[in-house]
Amino acid sequence: MGAEAKSGYTGTGLDLTGWRAKNTRMICKRPPAGKKQRVPVVACLVLVGLLAVGAGAAPAPKAKTAPPPPPLTWKAGVAAVVVTPTNHLWMAGYAGRKKPAEGKVQELFAKALALQDEQGQKLVLVTMDLIGVGQPLHHRLAERVQKELGLPPQFLLLNASHTHSGPALRTSPVTAKDLENERTRTAYEYTQQLEDKLFHVVSAALAQLEPARLTWHRAQCGFAMNRRLPSPTGYRNSPNPDGPVDHEVPVLRVEVAGGTLRALLFGYACHNTCLGFYNYCGDYAGYAQEYVQANRTNCIAMFLQGCAADQNPYPRGTGVVPGLADLDLAQQHGRTLANAVEMANLTPQREVHGPLRAAYGEVTLTYAKQRPAHPYPVQVIQFGPDLTLVALGSEVVVDYSLRLKKELAGEAAVWISGYSNDYTGYVPSLRVLKEGGYEAQTGWADTVEDRIIGKVHELYGRVKQTK
């Protein structure tokens, strides 16, 4: 079975099987070189006669009329802001860092896509090239956005790409003593500025709403590899080509008047850990966005991180591939993902209708050992009967995405993101928790998966829509 058939893309406008067969036949029918082709004269005369009769009998050709442009039933606005630190802060992601950043090879961005349905309901999706969205930051920003812009918290989604080449954040409150530490103080000051920038990018996107059309597409991209390798001593953090993955690349396309592309929001489930250097960079997701935006004026590409806790890019790191540095691989994977987005963009689209509905809730997750329980955020956004977008907090393993896509499968397409609205470490499935290993060390009780999945179904039940 071909790749198209496996992934459900047969019968599309991109199915080249018929074209290939037809053109193969045409090539095979060419006469052998050097041999003259005989043309039957009688047959030619008959053909000319038929054409003449046909031409005489044909009705006057009708003027071709272009199909009417698709209705722009939505409104959309986009905005982006550079969030690259202007100074050399300590970087996030790797515990073994020995010094602060030394420079940048790419700008980091926060981007906002504001949408409004025909009933006037608004939604803002925010993506950022940063390590995570601390829950205190999410709460503060959601409160401010509601108070000053009138957008309820369930209609605001914050997602981080989890790049390990961005600054460390300090989202929790600080004391005067904390601020005596320069590393803490600079991280805190950066985070304060970031919060303000996030508010303004949301505000700017909402201020630019214009008539728009939404379509949903998908493709596949293969460089994410499971990183839980079974070994005689337990699960090692190492590439496992046989482990579960989610290679889907969902794409939400935003078109405005004249068919102009205004935004491409795309997802993938893979850690942004190609790089281990001391420069600010969006890693593969930063390059994928850069490549998708290239040569597209006023179009913003946005990356929504998926359930990537146990997924790493493969290959990654300097020297793994002789002659290639980690940056080469980040760019190569970025190109691969950008190409998948382009392919999704070419496949037949699914029109996305409203109305918008959204639900947000925090489910209590407990730890196996004595430790305060954590209010874990779950958000479900429903685009009419066409698309269900689930946003889970923190670093969820791919099992959540695979399970929820099966359990929510129905009329609407299903899109699962992680790293949203919260950043409290790894969130294993029950399988991973029992197996142990790196992603299981957070210490959650074995109710963790049941509680999260239960909350998703509860919220989905509130927003589900059918035609």
C-alpha distances in Å from residue 71, one per residue of 119, 276, 293? 15, 47, 25
User: Token pair of 467, please?
Assistant: 């035609």
For residue 416 the two structure tokens come to 């699962």
Which of residues 92 and 292 has its CB atom nearest to Zn ion in the complex? Answer: 92
| Min CB(435)–Zn ion separation in Å | 18
We find the least distance from the C-beta atom of residue 439 to Zn ion, in angstroms, to be 9
Residue with tokens 């082709």: 37
Shortest CB 426 distance to Zn ion, Å? 7
Residues numbered 154 to 173 that lie near Zn ion (CB under 5 A) are none
Shortest distance (Å) from residue 349 CB to Zn ion: 33
Residue (248 or 395) nearer to Zn ion, CB: 395
Tokens of 100: 């602060």
Q: How crowded is residue 372: how many other Cβ atoms within 10 Å of its Cβ?
A: 7
| Residue number with CB closer to Zn ion (246 or 395) | 395
Write the interaction track for Zn ion spanning residues 386-415; mark x where CB under 5 A is met and - where it is not.
---------x--------------------
Give the shortest CB-301-to-Zn ion separation in angstroms: 22
395 or 449: CB nearest Zn ion: 395
In angstroms, the Cα distances linking 122 to 114, 151, 260 are: 7, 7, 21
How far apart are alpha carbons 244 and 460 in whole angstroms? 25
Query: Based on CB atoms, which residue is closest to Zn ion, 212 or 275?
Result: 275
Query: In Å, what is the CA distance from 100 to each residue of 40, 93, 332?
Result: 83, 12, 26
Contact of 296 with 338, CB cutoff 8 Å: no
Q: Which is nearer to Zn ion, 270 or 414 (CB)?
A: 270
Question: Which residues 52-111 are close enough to bind Zn ion by CB under 5 A?
Answer: none
Among 84, 97, 161, 198, which Cα is nearest to 395's?
161
Contact letters for Zn ion, residues 341-380 (x by CB under 5 A): ----------------------------------------
CB of 118 to Zn ion, least distance (A): 39
Using CB atoms, what's the residue nearest to Zn ion?
395
Q: How many residues bind Zn ion (CB under 5 A)?
A: 1
Torsion sign over Cα 414, 252, 164, 420: negative
Residues engaged in binding Zn ion (CB under 5 A): 395
